[in-house]
Structure 1
């Protein structure tokens, strides 16, 4: 659950109706077609917000969008990004989770995933994306399977973190590249599911809804554990592979640079707060070349400026779809 997305949705739409389902959808009366007055044909709300991803959709009138920001805009309401300058009309209340994440107790399972990676489909996929075994080792990447032989306490922690099916005992990171941040006692796990055709038969006993999935809490920019006293510049990107590729091409050439990522185009409250509280670094923002990337720059830049920091947004050259492709082609921001 992304509590920032839930908070923003409820400030705009009121409390959600009924339970949030297992796919992360919270339901509300649709604000676009008078849903509450009409109550549809079932007497139930028709409007859903995915509190993991931020996308929204009315199953009756067809209105939909890809982010909480776009929902605010569609309703003509000013969107205030999370950061030091954020002052919500409703006082921010942190809600207790139904089940607290215990991903920091999964080192045994993460170690097993790392042990498996060298000869796994994950390594072949990493190579196909231009990521070297050295970079995989540097960041402690692993290969998630549907079964890992771990102690009972670790399995229970994984169940409580919604990472393992309580009945079938299968791991929901099956068939993925696994990244733990920080590498030991992580606060967040981020996985990139491999394409079905890159996996052996029955390697993943469920259908994936998205290429990426996370467990835990985004408390700092992912990759920030590599910051050292000599670090002067932080290159900020949106996704895992953007960070891996950026680090791969800058580590030797620019030891004063560290690459971090926000795990999506909607940074969490805590990640935005981290940028605000660390104005001592020079920030270079490299967004994805789409509207969500422009919104992302606005949010991250707002947090940095609120803390008195300096930044430079740098778009990737035309012809590239993502920053990782641009980095691996040899391109780097001229400001470095």
Structure 2
């Protein structure tokens, strides 16, 4: 059974000129112990998907329709007070900037023990021991001394480890990690990635890893969802999506990654830019930038359909005889 199920999720923002649809009919699931990567350019809807799942959509943004289920229980329509109990206890969150997750006025030990005691039936001393163990697990040296330090006394990489420790404090079943390695140098990135993989393996947690870095996806994830203009363009096993991309957008993304073995003067790039929410074209949103677009792409919007070992929202894979 899936640990997280997202079904036909639509997120809208009302404006003076009408409603802007920021996420348009998104569906995916994540199994226990699985890491699903969500990748795409800025503005594709990656972080918004994560925020909808955690219950932290910025008003006036709201879930207009669809369902989000955690271990079979629907959570997208819960009141804020109930959602706060789930956040932290059953869903852990790791954000790009650790300073937004840590309060500069309190020691990290205080923040960890408070989180632990909010969600787990533990006394002060037991919670402190658990906090020290979490810091050790996340690779913070001299954890018994550093637990009483404040956020500003840690480097960026160490602060991100503290945030991961906070996210794991109540042993959540799902972790939503939004660009958790972006601000870190490459060697620290690798350590944080290993840490996320270890959490998945040892705790059977599901991880949704949001990033724009295909290298991080390749290194970390079991499956990947490629997003474009508020929809999923392609989803499938990481190895297949990277080596045999089925959607022209994914093909373009892969071609723009430097290849260590190939000597290229110039990297490929996808011409044009992602459309704004108030100017998404008819048909497939990618059609103005797509080298393989044909008439149907400009008229009808494709849903995900089987495309080899993955699923792609692309008419090239249509089986009704009208593919390109």
* TM-score, length basis structure 1: 0.26
Q: Looking at both structures, which has the greater relative contact order when contacts are Cα pairs under 8 Å and sequence separation is at least 6?
A: 2
Q: TM-score, normalised by structure 2?
A: 0.27
Structure with the largest fraction of strand: 2
